[in-house]
Structure 1
Amino acid sequence: MEHVLRQTLIALALAERMGLDETDRAAVYYSSLLVNVGCHTDAHEQAKWFGDDIALKSGKYDHEIGTLREVAAGLRLIGAGNPPLQRIRVGLEFAVSGAREISAMISHHAQLAQVFAQRLSLPASVINALGACYEQWDGRGTPGDLAGEQIPIEARIVQIAEFIEVALRTGGLAAATEMANRRGGKQFDPALSRLICTAGEHISSGLDTVHTWDSVIESEPALAVVLSPEQFDSTLVAIADFVDLKSPYTLGHSRAVAELASNAGERLGVPSDDVRSLFRAGLISGFGRLGISNAIWDKAGPLGMGEWERVRMHPYLTERMLARSDVLAPLGRVAAQFRERMDGSGYPRGLAGSAISTHARILAAADSYQAMCEPRPHRSAMTPELAAQNLRAETAAGRFDPDAVEAVLGAAGHRTRRRIEGPAGLTAREIEVLRLVARGLSNKQIADELVISKKTVGNHVEHVYTKIDANSRAAAGLFAMQNGLLPE
């Protein structure tokens, strides 16, 4: 917890010691906050090969990067959570195609972090640093294009700060100094390693006593950036898109829920400020999904009791994520209730009736309707007509607010389907293939779905990736959302 916040304070202390000016320190600041923002974007693939993607990430700092111990630790997790025979099958599949898929993941993380920074209109120095934060001083990093002083100083600082934070927290200053000394000249810039060894006590001073959130906010090196309401909304849309990348089953879900909820609010005659709040609450409602493993979200079979208990936590996690921001906390309180039900059967708190806010009732109806119209691991997408029928049946059973449901269904009924113009020169067939690739289907599954040969699918996928300048499912999913191709 608070790993990124603490590593940012360490990175800023290093930047100051290195004599970086305010502009360069600002690049360090934002690069540190965003360095791992893409790590959940292939959680679907991580869960497919290793079981619990969150458990997989927890072992990142246990072994030196690229060592046999690191490789062995990863191999031991292949097929985790499955019966023995299933683990063997997953292992064989991994040997055929999984290893190549996994080896490209870190590069994809860096590329998507750069895309995210661009969407936030951050300066080129931040974007360049994010692309190089997984490089190593000895040239054995990822993607392995840079070495030594070719790596931007901001990236070198962020990388060592990330690992030193973990060492400080788990082993104290002695462990951090030992790591810096051992990895200096290999993974880390030797000058930064020496700085940790000689000034580590100063650099880490106060980390365990300061209020980390406030300290990070107050430490922004450049003048504070103030967003207009429109820029604030655009920023939330960018974050929501990246959260939705966690699973191919939720691509574009948050955007669609936000639009449905705000349109429904207008139909109910709520004030314009409340309509905007509904839109924003819809965008942030899925943030807590990041705290739940894709071994649960993407499971095709029924969930066990323990798995359901974890699912019930995600609205609460959303609320806690946003609680320390005066601007976002009220939205978090609405989103914390969007899985509550009028009869008390919802979660996480089992609220009922008037205890559920009007905004949350609208959001609940919008989320439920939109989810039914999207595919899930255990079922295909429902038609809008069937989704509306099911939602009305749930309302008749006392679980949803009737006015909120009718407003949402009215908004859905008046939404016109966007005409596909073929972004990036995609043909109609390539758009179909892109949607299925983004949903996580294999070439064979796409071939079965479209009744074409696997070889033809492979050609389509190659053309699609070339046209949209992508090389991963997550990047394809992001392109599809940004261009209105998902949800359909």
Structure 2
Amino acid sequence: MQPEHNVTVEEAVQVLAMVGDLSMGQPTDQSIRSAHLAERLALLDGADGGACAHVRLVTLLRWSGCTANASGFSTLLGDDVGGRDAMLTQTLPPQNRLSFTSVAPLARIHCEVSGAIAQAMGLPPEVETGLRRVWEHYDGGGMPERVSDPDIPRLVYYTNLGSDLEILSRAHGLAEGLRMIAARADRKYPAELAHLLAAQAEGWLQDIEASPCAAVLPVLAYYVPLTIVADMIELKLPWLLGYSRRVAALAERAAVLAGLSALQQRCLGRAALIHGIGRAAVPNAVWQRAGKLGSADWERIRLVPYWTARAGAQVPSLRAEATLASHVYERLDGSGYHRDLDAGTLNLPQRILGAAAAYAALCMPRPWRAASTAREAARLLTDDAAAGRFDAQAVKLVVAAADGTDVEAVAPTAQRRKLLTEREAAVLRRISLGESNKEVARELQISPSTVRTHVESIFRKLACSTRTAATLKGLTLGLI
């Protein structure tokens, strides 16, 4: 991926916070509001400026691992988005109450992936540790390790109290929210911090209601790849892995062939990497449903590009890219979404992005169909262009771009040789698709016990303990 697809740490954190909020069924400014409350509590408790900066980062990124365990919560609750909203607001029906044994493995995935994201972005170790401990409780009843105070960083309590106040007061009213927080005192967080919060809660909430909150982050003067955002989004569905990277590569090559300016090429590549932001708001059950979707499902899917466009409003420095990305599902005959635009209003970059996304999707397998070959994908897209859905020129450009060298496929080789063996890389690729040891063994024609040995070696080399974290590290390091 091109170096111009780097973004500031601040931009990456803001987008990841929004994706996390959408994944958890929350308003898109929930993490920002919680971060302001958590920082105020930290200041009141005597934290210095450096500690407050860490609190803001942990609060904004505390849901950054939630796409990684979406499939698990979908299995447990039927709806990973609505179900987790009910968990946060304490409104789960009695029949859906979750046990420690069912949730702890998902908490482990969440915390390990959040920590890995912080590590990949070069954030301070205090932030990484806080994210790895964000589900732990003061009394040792949290997850996944059941550690207790003093082995839990104090910033975790600030984060959880700020978040609980924002969510519970919004869902139940301030008085009931404070009552629920008091009931968790000396269990989830220290009682003295809960009391400090309660004394100031009404005024603080009034302040953040009076004026819109912005994500105020510490000055971190360096850049990180925008692919971090794409990879985090795509952990939600194993069969999406690497999709946005492929769309970006295709769209940029097509833009070069079209003679578009360097600025337009850059905007297309970056738009492709973030075009899936809104996908986080749709439950996994909808994406995985076989057969024709109902009208209710389609209404949720139609909002995907809307939420992507909203990212531009929340992160103004990515406004142009988010606006372009939100046109990815528009079609020339007016059959697309969410704006229902047609040929009279769609420009060439928008047409190229739509064609690139469709081509890349056709060439990747889905739970309900096998992947198309390059020739089949080109034919299907050409037929759609003839029917008036895609721009014929854009389709020709994308197909021509796809005929070039697949840099995404060959780039990992050197890095793979340094860290993983060829067989380990092959196993990592299979498990990244959600396959079991038996399925990997069948595909690679080796025994399940050999697969298990390779997985253990992969975990050791990548310093992780879950398949999802290994997948994220594999993508970040260019191993898959």
- Shorter-chain TM-score: what band? 0.7 to 0.9
Counterpart among 292, 298, 307 of residue 282 in structure 2: 292
Q: Distance in 2 between matches of 1:185 and 1:52?
A: 31
| SS in structure 1 at match of 2:66 | coil
C-alpha spacing 1:430/1:325, structure 2 compared with 1 (3 Å)? closer
Q: In 2, distance between residues paired with 1:485 and 1:401?
A: 35
8 Å contact kept, 1:196–1:203: no
Contact 2:137/2:146, CA 8 A, preserved across alignment: no
Q: Give the aligned partner of residue 68 of structure 2.
A: 41
Structure 2, unmatched stretches of 5+, are: 1-26
Greater alpha carbon shift after TM alignment, 312-321 vs 202-211: 202-211
Q: Percent identity?
A: 33
Cα distance, 1:62 vs structure 2: 4.5
Match of 1:379 in 2: 369
**Pair 1:323 & 2:324 matched:** no
Partner of 2:238, secondary structure, is coil
Counterpart in the other structure of 2:155 = 154
Give 1:301 deviation, angstroms.
3.9
Does the alignment pair 1:246 with 2:236?
A: yes
Q: Could you give the per-residue CA deviations for residues 259-305 of structure 1, whole angstroms, max 9, x where no partner exists?
A: 21112111211111111111111111111100111101123444233
Does residue 22 in structure 1 map to residue 49 in structure 2? yes
The letter of the residue matching 1:73 is N
CA 1:275 to 1:171, structure 2 compared with 1: closer, same or farther past 3 Å? same
Matches within 5 A, 1:204-223: 204-212=205-213, 216-217=214-215, 219-220=216-217, 222=218
Aligned amino acid, residue 410 of structure 2: R
Distance 1:155 1:423 in 2: 39
Q: Which residue type is aligned with residue 310 of structure 2?
A: R
| Aligned with residue 9 of structure 1, among 20, 32, 36 | 36
Q: CA deviation at 1:451?
A: 4.2
Tell me, yes or no, if the aligned pair for 2:331 and 2:341 is still in contact at 8 Å. yes
Match of 2:474 among 458, 469, 480: 480
CA contact (8 A) 1:110 1:132 kept: yes
Q: Which residue number corresponds to residue 199 of structure 1?
A: 200
CA distances 1:306-362 after superposition (whole Å, capped 9, x unpaired) = 223322221122112322332222222211111111122222222111311221111
- The residue correspondences of 1:4-153 to structure 2 (distance < 5 A) are 4-63=31-90, 73-74=96-97, 102-144=103-145, 146-153=147-154
Choose which of 410, 413, 416 in structure 2 pairs with 1:418. 410
Q: 1:435 aligns with which of 426, 429, 433?
A: 429
Structure 1 residues 184 and 48, CA gap change in structure 2 (3 angstroms): closer
Cα distance change of structure 1 residues 130 and 119 upon mapping to structure 2, 3 Å threshold: same
Equivalent residues of 1:180, 1:196 under 8 A apart: no
1:342-396 Cα shifts (integer Å, max 9, x gaps): 1222222221113112211111111111111111111122222222222222222
Pairwise mapping of residues 342-381 of structure 1 onto structure 2 (< 5 A)?
A: 342-381=332-371
Aligned to 1:340: 330
Task: Report how far residue 423 of structure 1 moved.
Answer: 5.0
Judge conservation of contact 1:14–1:203 (CA < 8 Å) in 2: no
CA distance in 1, matches of 2:349, 2:221: 27
Q: Deviations over 1:150-193 (max 9, x none)?
A: 32121121011111212221233322332332211111122211
> What is the CA RMSD across the aligned residues, in angstroms?
2.5
Q: Partner of 1:79 in structure 2?
A: none
- Cα shift readout 1:10-48 (whole Å, capped 9, x = no counterpart): 101101111211111111111110011111212123223
**Contact 1:110–1:130 (CA under 8 A) maintained in structure 2:** yes
For the residues of structure 2 that align with 1:37 and 1:75, how far apart are their CA atoms? 22
Flag the structure with more relative contact order, 1 or 2, with Cα contacts below 8 A and sequence separation at least 6.
2
Instruction: Structure 1: state its 5+ residue gaps.
Output: 77-98
> TM-score, normalized by length of structure 2?
0.86
SS of corresponding position for 1:205:
helix
Q: Partners in 1 of 2:121 and 2:165 — Cα distance?
A: 28
- Which runs of structure 2 are paired with 1:295-306 in the superposition (5 Å)? 295-306=285-296
CA distance in 2 between partners of 1:123 and 1:390 (Å): 48
Where does residue 464 of structure 1 map in the other structure? Answer: 458
How many equivalent residue pairs?
449
Alpha-carbon offset, residue 425 of structure 1: 4.4
Q: Work out the CA distance in 2 between the residues paired with 1:329 and 1:346.
A: 21
Cα offset, 1:399, TM superposition: 1.8
Instruction: Say whether the 8 Å CA contact 1:138–1:148 is kept in structure 2.
Output: yes
Output the CA distance in 2 between the equivalents of 1:266 and 1:468: 36
Post-superposition CA distance 1:437-459 (Å, at most 9, x none):
11112233334434444444434
Q: Secondary structure at the match of 1:430?
A: helix
What are the Cα deviations for residues 218-245 of structure 1, in whole angstroms up to 9, with x where unaligned?
x44x4x4466xxx3xx342211110111
Q: TM-score, normalised by structure 1?
A: 0.85
Conservation of the 8 A alpha-carbon contact between 2:116 and 2:469: no
- Residue 409 of structure 1 corresponds to 399
- Structure 1 CA distance, aligned partners of 2:296 and 2:177? 37
State the partner residue of 1:89.
none
2:11 counterpart residue number: none
Cα gap change, 1:151 to 1:423, in 2 (>3 Å): farther
The answer to which of 333-342 and 382-391 deviates more is: 382-391
Partner of 1:94: none
Task: Indicate if the aligned counterparts of 2:169 and 2:176 stay in contact, CA closer than 8 A.
Answer: yes
Q: Which amino acid aligns with 2:190?
A: D
Q: 1:101 to 1:485 in 2, by over 3 A?
A: farther
